Structures are given as structure tokens and as C-alpha cells.
A = this chain, B = another copy of it.
Amino acid sequence: MRSKFQKRSKKTGLSPGSLVHVGSKYSEKSKITLIRYDETFFTEKEISQIADFRSEKDKQGIKWLNIDGLQDIKLFEDIGEFFGLHPLVLEDILNTDQRPKMEDYGEYIYLVLRNFHGQENGDLLSDQVSIILGKDFILSFQERESDLFDSIKDKMNKNKGRIRKEGTDYLAHAIIDNIVDNYFIVLENLEEKIEYLEDDLVKKATPSTLDTIHILKRELILLRKSLWPLREAVSSLGRSDSPLINKSTVVYFKDIYDHTIAIIDTVETFRDMLSGMLDIYLSTISNRLNEVMKVLTIIATIFMPLTFIAGVYGMNFKYMPELEFRWGYFGVLGIMLVIALLMLMYFKKKKWI
């Protein structure tokens, strides 16, 4: 569970809007990539400071500024000033424990999302992705470099699909769509594990089965925690009356909304399945205990009376007439056999064996 829940205590007492990075440290230097494009062209270059953007600002086309790495506080102060961002927005970009949300600041829309991108020791890893959606610019912030935007850039470069023809809202939609698709990959992984577990459960449930159920449950809890606010954020985008969102793009946000609903449905279904499997597991343990106890009881019930009889004729009384009988020994052995058989028949009738 480590590092799922950020340590905010270092922020306690600071005034709201104070810029402090809260989250995992990845690199000291942020990497800034500037993409400019419209239907006719597409350029991508790396810039070293926000001042370099000044000359590009009023050029033609949509400007997309992607920042990887959130350690460089100075950079974020510059960005805040340059684009006129609210201090709380800057604070939220830097604090990487935000719930997904969408906030309309009039001039721009602020979006926070969580991108799930892998697992480590059975723990899901996710990074915060923040998006500022303006009229002719879009800012995206990631905790560190990733390949999240590669497919989008690729499509832009090859001028495939509608992405070069549409505005910043469609670009934002493409980013969110990519992030939501990553949830599907996580779910597929989970599904495989659940299927595997289910096969196991019937054949050979061990304590490690329990462990796996526990880990899968925890992953679902974490997924859920970011899914519900994501759904809300995407829904707000779809219902937004901001001039930044075109009518024609709304149907695309509605589509993403459907996907998040489908993901939530699947997560809930998985939860139900895991609960069912835990029940099965517990019943299996109880059944096994029953099996063990039956074996013990059968053995004890057969041999205790027999041992007792043997004990009786092992007594050293002077006058024990049976001991003198010619067929006494074999008679007793015979009686013992009959008792054992009667016991076995009793257990057979009780369906214990």
C-alpha cells in the first residue's frame, strides 16, 4: 500500500496556494515539449524555459505544451504567471494526490486525471496527469516522462483521424481517451488473474489463494477510488456549457463517459466475483476441516473399541476363563473384525466414506 496516499503533513500550516511539490520525486529538471499544429502543419520541439514560449504564443495553430516532471517550482510559478492560472490550480498540479476532477475557470478548464501504467509487486502504479485546456493552447503535466502521448503525436504527425482538424477540446478528448484505454488494460490483467484464481479455487485452494484474493481486492479498491471521480469529471465535461467545448466534441466526451461507466461496471462485477470467491474459499476450508475430522473420527471409532478389547485380555487377573479357551484368541480376533466391519458400515451409511 506504500505511497498510495501522499504525505501532505509537510504542507500543513502553509497558506493555501503555496507551491510545494507533494509526491514522488523523479528528476530535478522538468522537460518541456512544445507542439504547434493545425490542419496544414505539425511541429514539435523541446524548450528549456517558459520564456522561450513567448515568441510562439501568437503564432498560428494550436499550441500544446507538455511538461514532464514537477520538481521545478520556479518553472511552475512562471507558467502560472504567463497563462494567468489560479494559485490553487498550480497547487493542485504539484500535489500528485488529487482526485480526478474538472474545474471550469472561464478562461480555461482544469482537468486532473490518473494514468494507470503498470504494476510492481502486485501494486498498481498510477501517475497524475493535469491538463489546462485553453482557447488555442493546451498544457499537460505529467509526474515524469512516459509514452502516454506517443500514439497521439504519431497520429498528428501522420495526419490520421480528425485530430489535426479539430480544436483543443478534441485534443483533450484524445488524451483522456488514451488514459481511459489504459484502465481497460489494467482490467484485462485483473481478469486474467481472476480467471486463473477461479480455476485454482476449485482444484487446490491454498492460503496463497487467500493472499491473491486480498491483493486483487485491494487493487480494485484503488481503481474504484479514482474511477468514480473520473466518471464525474468526464460527465462534467460532456455537460459543460463552456465555450471551450464545441458542440461536436460533446458526443466524444459522452463516448468516453460510456467507457468509464463500462469500466466501473466491470470493477463492481469483479468485486462481486472476488467476494463470492472468498466465500468459496472459506467454505472449502470448512469442508476440508470436516474431511480431516471425519478421518480422525473413523480411525478413532474403529480402533478405540478394538484396543480396549485387546487391553481387557491383556489384564493379568488370575481367573479369566476366556484365556483358557482353545479358540479364545481367534474368537476375539473374529469379534474384533465384526466390530470393525459394523463401524465401517455405519460410516458408509452416514456417507462419511
Contact = CB atoms under 8 A, between A and B. Distances in A.
A136 B129 CA distance: 41
Contacts of A13: 151, 178, 181
Contacts of A351: 204
Interface string A83-104: 0001010011000011101010
A5 B266 contact: yes
19 contacts: A5-B188, A5-B191, A5-B266, A8-B184, A13-B151, A13-B178, A15-B155, A15-B163, A91-B255, A99-B258, A99-B265, A278-B279, A282-B282, A293-B297, A300-B300, A303-B307, A304-B307, A316-B316, A319-B325
Contacts of A295: 297, 301
A139 interface: no
Interface in A280-325: 280-290, 292-297, 299-301, 303-308, 310-320, 322-325
Interface of A: 1-2, 5, 7-9, 11-18, 86, 88, 91-92, 97-99, 101, 103, 151, 155, 160-163, 173-174, 177-178, 181-182, 184-185, 187-188, 191, 194-195, 198, 202, 204, 207, 210-211, 214, 217-218, 221-222, 225, 229, 251-252, 254-255, 258, 261-262, 265-266, 269, 272-273, 276-290, 292-297, 299-301, 303-308, 310-320, 322-329, 332-333, 351-352
Nearest to A112: B258
Contacts of A288: 290
A130 to B, nearest CB: 14
A177 B13 CA distance: 8
B292 A297 contact: yes
A280 B308 CA distance: 39
A316 B319 contact: no
A133 B107 CA distance: 31
Given A1-B191, A9-B181, A293-B293, 4 more contacts: A15-B155, A290-B292, A299-B300, A316-B316
Contact of A319 (B11, B88, B326): B326
Nearest to A181: B12
Contacts of A332: 315, 317
Contacts of A300: 296, 299-300, 304
